[in-house]
Amino acid sequence: MTELLALRCDPADLESSALQLEQALNRQAWVQLLPPVGAGRVISSDLLPQGSGFVIASGGSSGGRQHCLLPCNHLDQSAWATGEWLQSQGMELPQCLLLNPLPLHHVSGLMPWWRSRCWGAAHAWLRPALMRDPASLESWCRLLPGWGEQAVLLSLVPTQLQRLMAHAAGVRFLKACALIWVGGAALAPTLAEAARAEGLRLAPCYGATETAAMVTALTPERFLSGDLSCGSPLQDVELQLSEAGGLQVRTPRLAVSRWREQEQRLEVLVDADGWWHSGDAADLIEEGLNLQLKIVGRLDGAIHSGGETVFPDQVQQTLMELVHQAGLPLVELMVLAEPDPLWGDRLVALVRLEHGEKLSTHEKLLNQLAKQLQPCQRPQRWIDCPELVRNEAGKFQRSQWRKWLSPPESG
């Protein structure tokens, strides 16, 4: 019978978690990565294939909780594809230092550690407390062996990047990095422009749990030149669009299957031709022999309003750009759909303002700004939501905020 270790990843003791991972892998076991707290069923070991690998929760936004089964050799393939991309830019993999502030129970936090194992490179965990204190982070990193001599590689979500850039010490820390992968959520144009102004070597990328992390990446040089895409596919990746404009990915490192927790069953991940349907609407731009990927929004999050298809993620980003340009004290903004008898759906906006600010003071200007969008994209209501926050991956849990907006009737 295949051995399974259910590992609850403790952000305060990541070294211990990593040691347990190594011991399990040495026994040819599978490991299900669990968050530090919270519910979650453990998969039956009878469902696991031979060998060793990981069961990792997917970031999918529909269909209930899902977990991807990723054999270790798929993670190896992902690491080497990323390594080949770095080597094409002149980097020597064993001379790299990977800094990792992302949760270990996500594929984005597992892979920096895994890449370091494959490449023979140095790796260091950045605990949440350090990421909240840029001055301490800067001082701590200067004490790392090889700091200033090795090429520092960092993986972030946009929320972490924005928080670091709000402090001079955070900007100095970011400038010390040879390359900063940014993924997990859209990189707002204003944040990208601020990073370019500082000369930060960002590498926006796209990937998923299903693909064993990144499948496209943009070089820092292209980012600094003004490119707004997620870059080109890595050497082991094929991309195409469905008739509906959905991104499809084919690569030998796709998860072997996906476990649906609610139904307690495995499902096939790919279609008959080996393509994984991501659920993201995208554009593929041909540049000679290369493709450049741009993500438009979630197909399963798209709404139909007044005969038009509207992507809420895209509207959020545009609105936040307008809000920042106007200097309004908004910290977060997300849009959700509400049924409308004439339009089909209309948008409403949840906003979190800076402490002490009142929505009524700014609502008139918000409506004026929204008039720069198409009528189907304009929020019909603005709702003060002091609790509005993103999850640790830098994303909004839309199902959570839909329930907040329209709680179930009691009785």
Region 178-187: mean pLDDT is 91
Q: Compute the average pLDDT of residues 327-338.
A: 93
Q: Are residues 40 and 65 in contact, defined by beta-carbon separation less than 8 angstroms? A: yes
Mean pLDDT within 263-287:
93
Contact 314, 297 (CB under 8 A): yes
Can you list the domains of the chain with their CATH numbers? 4-298 (3.40.50.12780), 302-405 (3.30.300.30)
- Over residues 360-389, the mean pLDDT reads 94
Lowest mean pLDDT among 164-178, 197-211, 295-309: 295-309
Whether 255 shows a pLDDT value over 50: the answer reads yes
Judge whether 122 and 98 are in contact, CB under 8 Å. Answer: yes
pLDDT at site 214: 97
pLDDT (0 to 100) of residue 411: 46
Phi/psi region, residue 77 (left: phi>0; alpha: psi -120 to 50; beta: rest), is: alpha
Q: What is the mean pLDDT of residues 64-81?
A: 94
Report whether pLDDT(65) > 80. no
Cα–Cα distance between 392 and 133 in angstroms, integer? 17
Q: Is the pLDDT of residue 267 over 80?
A: yes
Task: Identify the pLDDT of residue 86.
Answer: 98
Asked if residue 408 has pLDDT above 90, the reply is: no
Average pLDDT on 205-217 reads: 97
* Percent share of the chain, pLDDT over 70: 97
pLDDT at site 62: 45
Average pLDDT of the chain is 92
pLDDT band at 61 (very low <50, low <70, confident <90, very high): very low
User: CA torsion sign, 242 to 247 to 252 to 254?
Assistant: negative
191 has pLDDT over 50: yes
Please give the pLDDT value at position 137: 97
369 pLDDT exceeds 70?
A: yes
pLDDT digits 0-9 by tens, 232-251: 999 999 999 999 899 999 99
Q: Are 99 and 126 in contact (CB under 8 A)?
A: yes
Closest residue by Cα to residue 393 from 38, 110, 156, 171: 156
DSSP string, 347-394: EEEEEEEPTT--HHHHHHHHHHHHTTS-GGGS-SEEEE-TT----TTS
For residue 54, name the pLDDT band (cuts at 50, 70, 90): very high
More confident residue, 299 or 79: 79
Q: What value does the mean pLDDT take over residues 334-348?
A: 89
State pLDDT tens for residues 29-43.
999 999 888 767 899
- pLDDT at site 159: 84
